[in-house]
Amino acid sequence: MVLLALWIASAAVAAAQPARPPAARSKTPAAPSAFWFPLRTIWTQPLAGPPVGPPAFDAGCAYVALRDGGLTAVSLTTGGVLWTRSLRLTAPPAAAGGVLVAVTGAALSNLDPGTGATRWRVDLGAAATLTPLISPAGITVVTSRPEVLVLRTVDGAVAWRLPLAAPATTAPAADADHVYVGLADGTLLGITAATGAVRWTRMLPAAPVRVTAAGAHLLAGADDDFLYAVVIGSGRVAWRWRAGGDVAGAVALDIRHAYVTSLANSLFSLGRKAGDLKWERRLPSRPVSGPALYGDTLLLGTIAADLRFFAASSGAPAGTFELPGPPIHAPHVLPWNGPTPPRIVLLTAGGVLLSLGPDVEPPLVPLDPMPGRSVPKWDTRIDFEPPLVPMLYPPGRLLPPEVLPIRR
């Protein structure tokens, strides 16, 4: 009786609980996270001259500053030139979230990404030669005064200014709450993005040349050939790794690994938590930037005018594509968009912007059996025929014996 009472009580509790709706299933299959070969050139756009520096990208355009004083917007879909402005930029442009900014000496202009028209223009008080940073806090600019200042994206008003003890050697980096700048005297600053207050200061043995915000750490490559991992909250150095040369460009990241290139012709993978070496790959030529990570593939351009692919898990080479000239930045990857495979956009030192990608059809692969069902074993004999049976004509009557097939 006791067991029966317990069973009745548990059934009543289960009936009182609301039924859970079935888990929603995506009707769109997940897009593959890797490139397949061969790659082909989707479009090529020769520009009017060599670029000032790396282009800026948003969802639909690439913005390139040229040494002859022009700023050009190019469609990432077709490669067509959308507009050109006569602006002599002294630093590469920056674009994000519908905002496009251009530095011309001691002035910064906010431009309409669709037309190139000037929305507002402010005087910085000193020249700026490093790429500005667009983040939720505003537009961060480092000037030669030296100082770092943040402008509001709406009207260009100065939110805060912070004098620096030495000239900046890195373009600013940011996460959700902080701005980070490296100085020529080896100082690394963690600044509160909302107020401009210095949260921590860390003196490194050498001047930082690249900084990348990486979750709990700030990864700083210095000109003593080391990569330093600095704790975001305190500025404490958690670990360091001898890169063998200056860190080339930003560090690519996934959940557990940091992928770094050095000017000692090396590409290597480190554990993000402790900086332990996972693998190292020697390169046949010098890299021009840090790697780009797409899915399980690393992409890296070199001064030998080629684009190289590596497996992120092991560093094994996965392919090479020859370019019309050496690229000047990390590959910009456009992910899958409906039926369109991923695309790679690169700008060469000679001023050629091009897009690469695989063919629309991916390589054929064997089909996997449906989950929970076995694949039937069909009889594939060529001489297989069904057995002969008597034909009925008309319905319900047998054919006369003389018209039946002869049995031997």
Mean per-residue pLDDT over the chain, rounded: 87
Tell me how far apart the alpha carbons of residues 221 and 270 are, in angstroms, rounded to a whole number.
Answer: 14
Per residue in 283-316, pLDDT (tens digit) is 999 999 999 999 999 999 999 999 999 999 999 9
Per residue in 383-401, pLDDT (tens digit) is 555 556 555 555 555 555 5
What is the band of 26 on the pLDDT scale with cuts at 50, 70, 90?
very low
Which amino acid would we find at residue 105? G
Give the mean pLDDT of 96-123: 96
Tell me how far apart the alpha carbons of residues 86 and 67 are, in angstroms, rounded to a whole number.
Answer: 11
Q: How far is CA 39 from CA 49, 60, 178, 320, 356, in A?
A: 27, 21, 40, 9, 7
Per residue in 248-268, pLDDT (tens digit) is 999 999 999 999 999 999 999
Strands 317-322, 332-334: pairing is unpaired
Is a pLDDT exceeding 90 seen at residue 141? yes
Can you give the pTM of this predicted structure? 0.81
pLDDT at position 227 is: 97
Is a pLDDT exceeding 90 seen at residue 78? yes
Q: Which residues fall within 8 angstroms of residue 200, CB to CB, at 6 or more apart?
A: 189, 190, 234, 235
Q: How far is CA 366 from CA 131, 369, 378, in A?
A: 48, 10, 17
pLDDT at position 337 is: 85
pLDDT at position 41 is: 96
Per residue in 38-57, pLDDT (tens digit) is 899 999 999 999 999 999 99
pLDDT at position 375 is: 54
Rg (alpha carbons) of the chain, rounded to whole number: 31
Residue 121: enclosing H or E segment and its boundaries?
strand 118-123
Residue 295 Ramachandran class (φ > 0 left, ψ -120 to 50 alpha, else beta):
left
What is the band of 97 on the pLDDT scale with cuts at 50, 70, 90?
very high
Tell me how far apart the alpha carbons of residues 172 and 148 are, in angstroms, rounded to a whole number.
Answer: 9
